[in-house]
Chain A
């Protein structure tokens, strides 16, 4: 279950809060202060004030219940601060500080002690060594990311904080947004499986995306994915097997770690992708469009070439294009919005068409905005998934794409990029 006291807390204490330029602590404070919806308390033993607000020497000096304690103090004092949090009976602890298991044996031991203390007290732990957590629909950002992304329906759970930064930094340009972002860190308390379950139970989330470097218990990871109600999209890093262990069997030699991971993911019906771009290409399609009931893809295009490119890709997957009407249906370069409407209605009506792809190349007579409008109307009327490939984003095409995506119709600028999202919608991955 998603724990609102952690992922949408009413009260937060930032331990190690500071306004010192260029510090992680300042980043967290700034991100948390973007809303006045929740009460944020600052704890700092050395500084009297942070951004002209009162600070507390100790979390136990705060005369209020604390839902979430965010810890950004140096590693040597984390343990002591955690003791204070246990005494305060906080709802949850997020440790951003690093210097634990990732640094070696000593750090690992320190991390184990901390996590055991919290476990004993029944207080959930996120981190340590992580970027933080965000829940954009509730203006909640307890991280030192460079700002907040757009709010939306994609949950992103990542074993890399840097990738979260990159995704957030790009968000302004994109038409999709995020319901939940979690930096997993060292997973001393809550583990990736817990986060997947949390995202699955979150009402705002429609799709779960994961960036994974490694999992400690593959079987439990796989079982968790199998049990999710929502689609899961996975990007795996560390695919090359560098270990050259002595093996006694053919199977031992051939069954590399990545191959097993990849097969398990497939068995659990998750979609594996090759890049961050591909991950969100698939995620936006799955978050906006429902899954198709059958496997038939109908293509309507005003450019023959673009239609053949997509048809080739689909055939190469071993799939057929239903032929109850001409498919791809070429409505020719001078296609007007009326031609689009007629062609698309004809195509989407076909019983053997479960998903329609509409392609537009920007020709001299093409009216992108008007076309987008007709496509949207048809998509709503027939209630079948629609994917759009508006190629060339000059003129009013960019605005047309924004309009389509605001109405939850995903656009891709190249047939190749549309392929994986299409396959995901028709369940052919």
Chain B
């Protein structure tokens, strides 16, 4: 079972893991309130414990630029079956990564870090470590993947201090040690000079 929106949010906060500012919207009237607080552009997506891949059911709208677009998005998303609700969220820009934790039958809890988006599906650009890890291990994990270039100012992109990610991974390691769950996906984690933001989370218990 996938944990609900609020439970997941609480667990992440406990370990100082950042998420974009977001609101759970129950009816159309709440849309204007949420977008006023968040500002534009923003992302709207379904919150669902039943759909593993949101994008496959058309459950994510990005780059929403005004209130009208937001309301249209809500109407469309709200029609999708088996959802818990709709979430409006601050849109974060930066380098995309995937982070995950798996409970391996032989090695116990294992941390995964890799390039996000299509990079992970197509190029399998990933590194793994048995938990718990220290910052040195986290740095090795970053340096093992090709996607590290996105942190090093690739093609005029922003250069990001790797410490942001090593701190992030060490916090995830701590979370994995303390909390009881089967698997967790943080995908994507978007990193910019402000920090590492978990933009989508799935904790499976």
Residues of A whose CB lies within 8 Å of any CB of B are 215-219, 222, 247-252, 254-255, 257, 259-261, 263-264, 267
Contacts and interface: CB of A to CB of B under 8 A. Distances in A.
Given A250-B185, A257-B104, A264-B130, 20 more contacts: A218-B107, A219-B130, A222-B107, A222-B130, A247-B183, A248-B2, A248-B183, A248-B204, A249-B52, A249-B100, A250-B120, A250-B187, A254-B124, A259-B126, A259-B128, A260-B102, A260-B104, A263-B110, A263-B128, A267-B137
Contacts of A264: 107, 130
A305 B114 CA distance: 38
B184 A218 contact: no
B183 to A, nearest CB: 4
Given A250-B98, A251-B184, A263-B128, A217 B106 contact: yes
B127 A251 contact: no
A251 B100 CA distance: 5
18 contacts: A217-B106, A218-B130, A219-B107, A219-B108, A247-B183, A248-B52, A249-B183, A249-B184, A251-B112, A254-B126, A257-B104, A257-B106, A260-B107, A260-B110, A263-B110, A263-B130, A264-B130, A267-B130
Interface in B1-17: 2
A268 to B, nearest CB: 9
B117 to A, nearest CB: 12
B202 interface: yes
Contacts of A261: 106-107
Contacts of B126: 254, 259
User: Which 7 pairs from chain A and chain B are nearest by CB?
Assistant: A251-B100, A218-B106, A218-B107, A263-B128, A249-B183, A249-B185, A255-B102
A219 B100 contact: no
Contacts of A254: 100, 112, 114, 120, 124, 126
A262 to B, nearest CB: 8
A219 B103 CA distance: 12
B204 A249 contact: yes
B129 interface: yes
Contacts, number: 78
A218 B108 contact: yes
Given A263-B128, A263-B130, A251 B102 contact: yes
A251 B101 contact: yes
A218 B108 CA distance: 8
A17 B2 CA distance: 61
Question: Which of under 10, 10 to 19, 20 to 34, or 35 or more describes the interface residues of B?
Answer: 20 to 34
Contacts of B98: 250-251
Select the residue from A218, A249, A257, A260 with max chain B CB neighbours within 10 A: A249
Interface string B117-134: 000100010111110000
B112 to A, nearest CB: 5
Contacts of A260: 102, 104, 106-107, 110, 128, 130
Nearest to B99: A251
B106 A249 contact: no
Contacts of B52: 248-249
B185 A218 contact: no
Contact of B183 (A216, A251, A259): A251
Contacts of A215: 106
Nearest to A222: B130
A350 to B, nearest CB: 27
B50 to A, nearest CB: 11
Contacts of A247: 183
Contacts of A216: 106
A225 B110 CA distance: 18
A255 B187 CA distance: 15
B139 to A, nearest CB: 13
A427 to B, nearest CB: 13
A245 to B, nearest CB: 11
A258 to B, nearest CB: 11
Contacts of B127: 263
Contact of A249 (B114, B124, B202): B202
A215 B101 CA distance: 21
A13 B22 CA distance: 75
A255 B130 contact: no
Contacts of A250: 98, 100, 120, 185, 187
A257 B103 CA distance: 11
B97 to A, nearest CB: 12
Interface string B178-191: 00001111010000
A332 to B, nearest CB: 39
Contacts of B187: 250
Contacts of B112: 251, 254-255
A255 B108 CA distance: 12
A174 B100 CA distance: 46
Nearest to B202: A249
Contacts of B202: 249
Interface centre among B126, B128, B202 (most CB of A within 10 A): B128
Contacts of A222: 107, 130
A260 B86 CA distance: 36
A264 B137 CA distance: 11
